């Protein structure tokens, strides 16, 4: 740091953020040591609620799920900007820091996000920090970005506890993001030597829980009396793999299933085989079309054995399109704070995130901040440089907020007014994503002996 381009106002903000260094690092390390997966982040939520309340913030809690929001008003009218921090961890058995019981670990670096969120909130809570700014900042501690543990989330939906598997979508549905005009966050990354990467966007996905249904039988005495659900699943995966050569490179299609259950004893024909999977693509129509072809392959494989398959499709994420205006701002701020070589300009990524859903109705950005080592989502992932992972995001976000909301929020208003949303409202968005959901058995056996495949 120390670039001569930093002006006095910026320096005052940076000094406030840097003064919260220990608070930021403590939060990152505390949450790292207490990892929790999506919709189970109760310890993390309680910890952060206490910190925000100590700073004087009034919280809007999500109530029966983890997470909350806290809003800081400048006292002058203007847009509302959401700064987001994700709470959830992954499951990564074999990671040295994984919870011994749950196997949860922050192998994607989400623990860094609540840390910078807290740091920015603490800095702007100080007197005079919003001078010259208009509008509001909404700090959002959100659960369940990682789309894992789908059977558990399906149970939450059936119980009426949640309506959507992804946390930002659930927050949007519950009204916790009502009134927000734009949103951004930063994500941990490996690599370098650059400090920040801005990129075009990433895939959307449909989340799938698949249960092949067969018939149990003694594997040695009477296998002919059974219907092997594991074989149904195995042939189903091969059928889906055979589709891959028809995928166009520019569509960035990905399909990656895992088998989560396939029998309990080697001497019994499995009557149930369960799979979780994503279907990803760079465009919504391609995502839906490809998912339909995958469902046909799965249904045909079950029918080939005389079994069935229960397919539970849920809207995962829509494709993320990062706002060019916000990307340009983050790049400019980073270059002015950290100097030449600090910014890398990336392109399209085949990952998925629920920031994509927000990007369909408002301008968003999700830059990547380096400072981690190992492999994202891998057992060797670790925080290597807390300044780069946690303090730098707090610095860049704080200065960016100042730039967006200064001069009667001129820049923020320009970005909002120039944005072309996919959907005109959240109601229109939900109508579209709800149409993706499907929960049916896909094979129908008719009395006349014919077989019907019923897929979406």
pLDDT along the chain (456 residues), means of 10: 67 96 98 96 98 98 96 97 97 93 95 98 96 97 90 91 94 97 96 91 94 97 97 98 96 96 94 96 94 98 98 91 97 96 93 93 96 92 94 98 97 97 94 93 97 95
Pairwise CA distance, residues 129 & 33, whole Å? 32
Torsion sign, CA atoms 257, 258, 261, 267: positive
Residue 430 counted as domain residue: no
Pairing of strands 272-281, 254-255: antiparallel
Q: Which two tokens stand for residue 388?
A: 């780069």
Element (H, E) at 392: helix 392-417
118 within 8 A of 51, measured Cβ to Cβ? yes
Q: Are residues 193 and 293 in the same domain?
A: no
Residue 427 counted as domain residue: no
Closest CA to 153 of 141, 172, 135, 170: 170
DSSP 328-386: HHHHHHHHHHH-TT-EEE--EEEEE-THHHHHTTS-EE--EEEEEES-TTSTT-EE--H
Residue 3 counted as domain residue: no
Closest CA to 357 of 178, 194, 163, 203: 203
Q: Are residues 368 and 409 in the same domain?
A: yes
pLDDT the model gives residue 5: 53
Pairwise CA distance, residues 184 & 437, whole Å? 27
Token pair 């094979």 is found at: 443
440 within 8 A of 311, measured Cβ to Cβ? yes
Q: Give the per-residue SS3 of 259-307.
A: EEECCCCCCECCCEEEEEEEEEECCHHHHHHHHHHHHHHHHHHHHHCCC
Element (H, E) at 411: helix 392-417
pLDDT the model gives residue 1: 52
Q: Are residues 189 and 42 in the same domain?
A: yes
Residue 233 counted as domain residue: yes
pLDDT the model gives residue 278: 92
Burial of 149 (0-12, 13-18, 19+ CB in 10 A): buried
Residue 429 counted as domain residue: no
pLDDT the model gives residue 6: 65
443 within 8 A of 213, measured Cβ to Cβ? no
In total, the chain counts a number of residues equal to 456
Q: Are residues 133 and 229 in the same domain?
A: no
329 within 8 A of 404, measured Cβ to Cβ? yes
Q: Are residues 217 and 138 in the same domain?
A: no
Q: Are residues 50 and 184 in the same domain?
A: yes
Instruction: Return left, alpha or beta for 348; rule: phi > 0 is left, psi -120 to 50 is alpha, else beta.
Output: beta
How many folded domains does the chain comprise? Answer: 2
Q: Are residues 48 and 172 in the same domain?
A: yes
Question: What pTM does this model have?
Answer: 0.86
Q: Are residues 130 and 230 in the same domain?
A: no
Other Cβ atoms less than 10 A from the Cβ of 446: the count is 8
Residue 431 counted as domain residue: no
Closest CA to 44 of 20, 57, 62: 62
Pairwise CA distance, residues 192 & 370, whole Å? 6
CATH code for position 446: 3.30.70.360
Cα→Cα distances 190→286, 368, 407, Å = 30, 9, 36
Q: Are residues 353 and 301 in the same domain?
A: no
Residue 2 counted as domain residue: no
394 within 8 A of 123, measured Cβ to Cβ? yes
Q: Are residues 26 and 172 in the same domain?
A: yes
Residue 1 counted as domain residue: no
Torsion sign, CA atoms 441, 447, 451, 452: negative
Q: Are residues 86 and 14 in the same domain?
A: yes
Closest CA to 290 of 263, 253, 327: 253
Other Cβ atoms less than 10 A from the Cβ of 29: the count is 15
Quote the domain boundaries for residue 16: 8-197+322-422
Pairwise CA distance, residues 27 & 413, whole Å? 33
Q: Are residues 62 and 100 in the same domain?
A: yes
């Amino acid at each position: 740091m120390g670039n001569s381009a930093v002006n006095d106002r910026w320096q005052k903000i940076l000094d406030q953020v840097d003064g919260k260094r220990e608070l930021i690092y403590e939060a990152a390390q505390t949450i790292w040591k207490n990892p929790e997966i999506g919709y189970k982040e109760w310890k993390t939520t309680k910890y952060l609620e206490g910190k925000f309340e100590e700073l004087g913030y009034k919280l809007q809690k999500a109530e029966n799920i983890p997470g909350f929001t806290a809003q800081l008003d400048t006292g002058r009218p203007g847009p509302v900007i959401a700064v987001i921090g994700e709470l959830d961890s992954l499951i990564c058995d074999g990671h040295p820091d994984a919870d011994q019981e749950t196997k949860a670990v922050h192998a994607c670096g989400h623990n860094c996000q609540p840390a910078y969120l807290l740091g920015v909130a603490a800095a702007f809570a100080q007197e005079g920090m919003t001078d010259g700014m208009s509008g509001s900042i909404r700090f959002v501690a959100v659960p369940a970005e990682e789309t894992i543990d789908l059977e558990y989330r399906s149970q939450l939906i059936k119980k009426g506890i949640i309506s959507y598997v992804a946390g930002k979508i659930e927050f949007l549905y519950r009204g916790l993001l009502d009134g927000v005009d734009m949103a951004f966050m930063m994500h941990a990354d490996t690599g370098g030597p650059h400090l920040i990467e801005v990129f075009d966007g990433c895939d959307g996905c449909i989340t799938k829980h698949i249960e092949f249904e067969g018939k149990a039988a003694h594997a040695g005495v009477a296998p002919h009396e059974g219907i092997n659900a594991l074989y149904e699943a195995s042939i189903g995966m091969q059928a889906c793999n055979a589709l891959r050569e028809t995928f166009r490179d520019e569509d960035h299609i990905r399909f990656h299933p895992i088998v989560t259950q396939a029998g309990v004893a080697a001497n019994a024909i499995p009557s149930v085989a369960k799979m979780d999977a994503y279907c990803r693509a760079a465009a919504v129509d391609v995502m839906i079309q490809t998912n339909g072809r995958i469902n046909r392959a799965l249904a045909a494989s079950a029918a080939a054995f005389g079994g069935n398959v229960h397919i539970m499709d849920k809207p995962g994420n829509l494709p993320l399109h990062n706002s060019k205006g916000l990307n340009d701002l983050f790049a400019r701020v980073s270059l002015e704070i950290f100097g030449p070589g600090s910014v890398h300009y990336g392109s399209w990524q085949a990952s998925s995130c629920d920031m994509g859903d927000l990007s369909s109705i408002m301008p968003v950005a999700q830059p990547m901040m380096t400072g981690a080592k190992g492999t994202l989502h891998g057992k060797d992932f670790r925080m290597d440089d807390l300044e780069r992972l946690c303090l730098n995001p707090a610095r860049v976000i704080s200065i960016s907020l100042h730039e967006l909301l200064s001069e009667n929020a001129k820049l923020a208003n320009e970005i909002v007014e120039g944005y072309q949303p996919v959907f005109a409202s959240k109601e229109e968005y939900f109508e579209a994503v709800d149409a993706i959901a499907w929960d049916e058995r896909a094979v129908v056996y008719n009395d006349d002996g014919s077989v019907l495949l019923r897929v979406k």
